[in-house]
A and B are shown apart, each in its own frame.
Chain A
Amino acid sequence: MTHQVKQFFVQAGELSSFASRFFKEAFTPPFEFKELLRQCYQMGNRSFVLVGVTGFIIGLVLTLQSRPTMIQFGAVSWMPNMVGISIVREIGPVITALICAGRIASGIGAELGSMRVTEQIDAMEVSGTNPFKYLVVTRVMATTLMLPLLVIFGDLIALYGSALVENLKGNVSFQLYFNTVFNALTFGDLIPATIKSFFFGFVIGLVGCFKGYYSKKGTAGVGIAANTAVVMASLLVFVVDFIAVFVSDIFYEL
């Protein structure tokens, strides 16, 4: 038990030190723009389908599950408002972040882990390229920039899924559905959700890189790095979400 508590604080300290090194390296030249764009493509574009499909199913299911209860209370006309606000404020960002934690954090952890084990990171260092800048800074920045875009895309698809159910089951037109949703939404719903998406992206990229960059114990270490990256990133997404809700409560009346 004592060992586990000690390990927790050691990990927290090492992750903080890793994050501070990221900020130090991210804003000093040379900048790796080409690699950053490549990573944005890898993480953003290649996650579109996964985020889209998941968002669509979440929208469908949320509406189908809530509809009978809303009918019972005679509040079915509030469906677009309820689904819109829950998706934009909470479900969309968190579900997208969790999917990305699974897909991106594990991918980064495994990729950097195998590069560490096969001495590719050392080879980069010896060739005069700063591997931290080239591998870590670009990946963390890419996830930070891409996650909000994926969240917005996922939200829209989820709303479309919800609109489809309302259209088929309640004869509500798409135009009426989306008008009602956008009338119900305020900046107090959109801004905190978008800001916290940046933090989700940062945490996912940082944890993936941290686990992979310091991977040990040969090929077994690569698996451990990928696995622990997903677990730690998912956990931190909820921690960041809690802090974000707490902070946004100060600025916006939720």
Chain B
Amino acid sequence: MNSDLMEKDTSIALAKEKWKSNTDTNRKAVIRIKDVRKSFGDNHVLNGFNMELYEGENLVVMGKSGSGKSVMIKCLVGLIAADSGYIEVMGKEIATLDRQTLDELRSDIGFLFQGSALYDSMTVRENLEFPMRRHREKLGVVSDTTPLVIEALENVGLAHTLDLMPAELSGGMKRRVALARTLILKPKIILYDEPTSGLDPITAKEIIELMRSIQKKYGTSSLIITHDVDCARVISERMILLVDGINYAQGTYSELSASTDAKVEAFFKK
């Protein structure tokens, strides 16, 4: 038991050292996470996680199911409060923000949920209009929101679904509508929580292409949480492997896939 704990402590210390040596001080970070810890009872999900997302970058965080990826991304937008550590988004420390400032900051962060999270009782149009209710000034919308809604739907190729209910859409269409809803506030950062999970390979590929085209068009910074190696290979500029609640390894896809470390290799085994 003690040797397990000692091994875990050593790996945490090593990960911190690796993270420090890999930090790029020349690039502007839009998200900074330092030594974040989060536990649910005896279950220690994050054990001192560190990460930086640079402006215009596509960063993939990979980890197996239950490794704390979704908890980490929810801590970023203040949906879950971290037990300790420092989380800064666009220069603002999340833990110190009041409700209003946090809501303003959230309008610059798009969040694509794992299950799309479309509002069941609303049409596609209402789903897209909903986030604009509190941010009309930012978007310069006076009364008619239709042009913005149509533009967002055209970006994902679903302008014809305007008056459909979410129940009438397929899984892939739901994910694309959710992406359109994420884009409607013109965010500077987009957080993707398992964007391809539950989709067939062809639809997953379409979603990945869509994510790339959006990044190209709007120059957003993207943080992608996934366990899908193909998704990571196509979209990532840099990757972090989340193991035992820490950033165990980081680098480009080719660097990590060539690693001989057993824990890293396990991710890339077919």
**Chain A residues in the interface with B (C-beta under 8 A):** 30, 111, 114-115, 118-120, 122-130
B-side contacts of A114, CB under 8 Å: 120
Interface residue? B87 (CB, 8 A): no
Please report whether the interface of chain A is mostly helix, strand, loop or mixed according to DSSP: helix
Interface string of B115-140 (1 = CB under 8 A from A): 10111110000000011011100000
A128 contacts B103, C-beta separation under 8 Å:
yes
From known contacts A126-B79, A128-B134, A128-B135, infer whether A119 and B99 are also in contact, taking CB-CB under 8 Å: no
Main DSSP-derived SS at the B contact region: loop
- Other than the given A120-B119, A123-B117, 10 more pairs (CB < 8 A) read A111-B121, A114-B120, A119-B113, A122-B113, A122-B117, A123-B113, A125-B79, A126-B109, A129-B133, A130-B99
List 20 A-B residue pairs with CB atoms under 8 Å apart, sorted by A's residue number: A30-B134, A114-B120, A118-B115, A119-B115, A120-B117, A120-B118, A122-B74, A122-B117, A123-B111, A123-B119, A126-B79, A126-B109, A126-B111, A127-B131, A127-B185, A128-B103, A128-B104, A128-B106, A128-B131, A129-B131
Across the interface, which residues of A come within 8 angstroms of B220, CB to CB?
A: none
Query: What residues on B are CB-neighbors of A130 within 8 Å?
Result: 99
Closest-by-CB residue of A relative to B99 is: A130
Q: Which of under 10, 10 to 19, 20 to 34, or 35 or more describes the interface residues of B?
A: 20 to 34
- Chain B, Cβ-Cβ closest to A127: B131
> Measured between alpha carbons, how far is A55 from B182 in the docked complex, in Å?
48
The 9 closest A-B pairs by CB, nearest first: A127-B131, A123-B117, A128-B103, A119-B117, A128-B134, A126-B111, A119-B113, A120-B117, A128-B106
Shortest distance from the beta carbon of B24 to any chain A beta carbon, whole Å: 28
A114 to B167, CA, bound (A): 14
Residues of A within 8 A of B121 (CB): 111
Asked whether B107 is an interface residue with its Cβ less than 8 Å from the other chain, the reply is: yes
Alpha-carbon separation in the docked complex, A115 to B185 (Å): 22
* Chain A residues positioned under 8 Å from B131 (CB to CB): 127-129
A129 CB contacts on chain B under 8 angstroms: 130-131, 133-134
